[in-house]
Amino acid sequence: MTENASAALCHLKLAAEHDQEEMRRNKLDIIIFAFAFILILQNTSHADHALTPTSSIADGQELISAGQNFSLGFFTPGTSKSRYIGIWYKNITPQTIVWVANRDNPLNDSRGNLTIAADGNIVLFDGAGNRIWFTNSSSSIEEPIAKLLDSGNFVLMDGKKSDSDGYIWQSFDNPTDTMLPGLMLGWDKNLGINRYLTSWKSDNDPSPGNFTFRFDQTEFPELVIRRGMNITFRSGIWDGTRFNSDDWLSFIGITAFKPQLSVTSTVAVYWDEPGDRLSRFVMKDDGLLQRYIWDNKNFKWTLMHEARKDFCDNYGACGVNGICNIKDVPAYCDCLKGFIPNSPEEWDSFNWSGGCIRRTPLNCTQGDRFQKLSWVKLPMLLQFWTNKSKNLEECKVECLKNCSCTAYANSALNEGPHGCLLWFGDLTDIRHLINEEGVQLDLYVRLAASEIESTANASKRRYIALIISVPVALLLCCIIFYLSKKYIKRRTSTGLVTGHRNHNEDQVISPIFDINTILTATDNFSIENKIGEGGFGPVYRGKLANGQEIAVKRLSKTSKQGISEFMNEVGLVAKLQHRNLVSVLGGCTQREERMLIYEYMPNSSLDHFIFDPIQGKFLNWRKRYEIIVGIARGLLYLHQDSKLTIIHRDLKTSNILLDSQFNPKISDFGVARIVEGDRSSITTEDIAGTIGYMPHEYAVNGILSPKSDVYSFGVIVLEILSGIRSRSYKFKHPDHDHNLLGQAWTLWKDGRAVGFMDVNFDLTVVPSELLRCLQVGLLCVQKLPEDRPTMSSVVFMLSNESIALPQPKQTGFFEEESEYHGYSEKESFSNNAMTITLLEARS
C-alpha cells in the first residue's frame, strides 16, 4: 500500500468515527427536545393549584384545585369571541362557569396572562401589557400566593401566615351570578363590603345584567331580587328563625344548602354550610333565581328550587292593599277587608296591578279598629317604625296615635310578645302562606270602625241565613236528587265536572275538566300525543269519551311564561267568542296543574303552510285571501265589537290556527292587554311580542295601541302573499338591505308587485284582489301609527273593490337592521316568543 493510499484510508476512518459521534449527539438532542416538548405540553394543559410571583397562567393553561374539583382559566362564553378568566367545575360537561373575574373588561384575543404583580395583587394583563383586571388589595404581603380551593373559592393570601389568619382577597367576597356552598351573602361592616349575586347579560355575555339577588334592610333583613331598582321578588323579613314566606320551606332537609342568618352590630350574612359541592344557586338573566344539583346518574344539572315559584311570589302581584292567595283559582287576588278595587273594570279582567283603595276613610277621632290577618307574608317595609321593648297592645296604642299608621305586627316573632313594628301608607306585597307551620304570623290592619261593624253584622246575617237555609236546602235536595242523577251522569260521561256554555256571546262560562278525564284523553300525556311546545309549556292532543278531539295546553313548572299569562288567557278567552278566535272549552287546576283545553285544530298553524314549499301548494290564492279576511274580522272583533277592547300584542303566523276547512282562528292571548274606554294608546315598559311583527313606536318606545296589532296584521298579510318570513334575508341586494317590508314597498312603488308574490301562485292572470291585499298590507305597516287604518277600515277595504285606496307611505323598519338598536334577529320581547305550534296536528 502506498503512502497516499494509507493516508486516504486513515482519513476515511476518522470521518466515519466523526459521523457516528454526530449521530449520537443528534439522538441525544432529539431525546432532550422531546422531553422538553412533553413538559411544555403538560405546562400548557394545566398548572398547579397555586399561583406565585414567579409563575403565571397563560391562555390555554388552568389552575386546578388540590382535590380536582374546580379549574380556573380562560374561557369564551357561548357564541362570544371574547376571552375571560373564570372558574368552572373541572369534571362536568358542559362547562359550567361559577365565577368570572374580568366580566366588565373582556380580552379580545388569546394573549392574556394572569400573574401576581410586585405589589402582591393578582393581575390580568392583555397581550400589550395593559392591566385588564386586578384584586386591588392595599394590604402588605410578604409572600403573596394565590390558591384555588376545593370549595371553588379563589384566594390571595400571605404564605408567611397560616390560613386561620384569613385571606387578603377572595372571590367569595366578589361573587358574580353563582352562589356555592360556603359563600356568604350580605353586609360585612368590618370589611366594608356587600356581597350579592348579579346575573349575566345573556348566555353569551357575562357582564353584569339587569337582575340582582341581595339583602334588603339591615334591621329586618330579607332577600330580594331586583330588576335594576325595581323589586321583582322578596323572601319576606327574617323573624329570627326563618324568612316570613313559604320559600323558606323549600330549603328544609337540604344538607348542601342550609341557610342561616346572623344579624349583629357588625355583620348580617346569609351562608350555606359546605356539603355536597355539586350544588349551586344561579341568578339567571331572565330574573329567576334557581338552585341546581348535579345528577350523577344522568350526568346533568337538575333544577331543585326556584324563587318566584308561583304567581303570588311576584312582588306586588295584587297591587297596593291587595292580598294574594294561590289557592283561589282563577282570581288569585283580593282586596284586604275594608278595601275595594281601584279600577273594578281592570280587576274583573284579571288585571290586579292597580290595587285597592279604602271603602271608608280612616277617622282618627272616631275610634278606628283593627282587622287581624293570620298566616300571611308581612307587607314590604317601605315606611315603618319599630320598637323592640313594646308589646302588641302597646303597639296597637302607638299605631292609633298616628293617623298615617295603617297596620302593626309583632317585630320579634321568635321571642314572645315583645317587639312592635308599624307600617305607614299603603300596604304592599301581602300573600296568604300555603304552609301554616312554625310561628303564627299575624298582621293587624287598621280600618274604620264602621267597616269592622259591617263585617261583624254580615257574619251574623250569614249565620242566620245558614240556619234558615239548611232545612230548605235539604228539602230541595230531596226533590231534585232523582232529576240531577241522570243529568250528572250525562255530564260526567263527557268529562265535564261543572260549568256550561250559553249560546249568547255575552254569557260564556268555561267548564272545569277533571284531571283524570284529561289524563285518559291524552294517554297520560304520552309523547305520541305531544303536538307542540312553547314558552307556556307543552301542548297535547286528546280525545274525550264522547269522541270530541281536544288540545291541552299545559303550564310547565319551568315555564318562562308562567301563571300570570295563564290567568290572562283564562280571563280573556273565556269572555271572547268569535268564529275567527280559537275557542276555549275549559280548564283544569287540580293537583297543582294549570291547563287550558281548546278545540282541536287539525291543520296546525298558518306558518306550517305558507313557509313550506311543499305545504304551501295546498293554500292557493283564493284560500289565502279568505284567511286574510278571516284574520281581519277576528281582529275587528277584538278591537271594536267585543265588550272589551283587546290588543293581542303577539299576533304572528304561528298564532293563527287553521281548522279542518282552513278557516283561521287567532290564538294565544297570554300577553294580550285591555285598553280602557276611549284611550287610543298606552305606554308600557312591559314589551311583549316578537321581533319582525312589532311596530317601531311599540318596540322602541313602549307605546301600545290597537294600531300595534294593525301593524302585525300587515306583516302577516305580506308573509301570506310572499310565502317568506318577515325577517328573512332572501331579498339581499348589492345596493340595499331591505327586509320583506322594505322590498314589498319598493316593488309596489316601482310597479313590479308581481315579483313579490309567492311562486306557488298562478300569476298568468293576476287577480285584482291580490294586488289590493298587497296595498292594504302596506297601508297597515306604515311607520307612523296615525297613518295606519283601523281594522274596521281594513275589513271594508278588503270587501269592497269599488273604492279607491290611498297610496301607502314607506314602511316601518324599512331596512333589515335599521332602528332595531342592537336587537338580534332571533331576539324576542315576550315569554312566548319561541314559536309554539299550538294545537298542531301531527304529520
Active site residues: 650
Phi, psi torsion values for 730, nearest 5 degrees: -65, -30
Provide the grid cell at 30. 432529539
Helix (H, G, I), strand (E, B) or coil at 814: coil
Q: Which residues contact 558 (CB under 8 A, 6 or more apart)?
A: 303, 306
Cis omega (within 30 of 0) on the bond before 181?
A: no
Which one-letter amino acid corresponds to residue 489?
A: K
827: Cα separation from own chain's centroid: 14
Q: Where are the beta strands (DSSP E) in 392-537?
A: 405-410, 418-424, 430-432, 442-447, 496-498, 512-513, 530-533
DSSP 663: -
Contact (Cβ atoms closer than 8 angstroms) between residue 317 and residue 567 = no
Q: Cell 278591537 sits at which residue?
A: 639
Pairing of the two strands 97-100 and 113-116: unpaired
Phi, psi torsion values for 741, nearest 5 degrees: -65, -45
Helix (H, G, I), strand (E, B) or coil at 712: helix
Angle between helices 706-722 and 768-780 (to 10 degrees): 140
CA distances 732 to 73, 716, 736, 737, Å, are 42, 20, 7, 6
Helix (H, G, I), strand (E, B) or coil at 73: strand
Distance (Å, whole) CA 457 – CA 465: 12
Provide the grid cell at 143. 409572600
Distance (Å, whole) CA 220 – CA 237: 6
Half-sphere exposure of 125 (CA within 13 A, CB side): 12
Q: Which CB contacts under 8 angstroms, 24+ apart, belong to 702-706?
A: 703/785, 704/647, 704/649, 704/673, 705/647, 705/675, 705/680, 705/681, 705/785, 706/639, 706/645, 706/647, 706/675, 706/680, 706/790, 706/791
Q: Which residues contact 681 (CB under 8 A, 6 or more apart)?
A: 675, 703, 704, 705, 707, 785
Pairing of the two strands 322-324 and 430-432: parallel
Cis omega (within 30 of 0) on the bond before 330?
A: yes
How far is it between the farthest Cα atoms of the chain? 149
Distance (Å, whole) CA 701 – CA 477: 60
Pairing of the two strands 703-704 and 682-683: antiparallel
Residues across the chain: 843
Which one-letter amino acid corresponds to residue 322?
A: G
Helix (H, G, I), strand (E, B) or coil at 211: strand
Provide the grid cell at 132. 385588564
Provide the grid cell at 613. 314549499
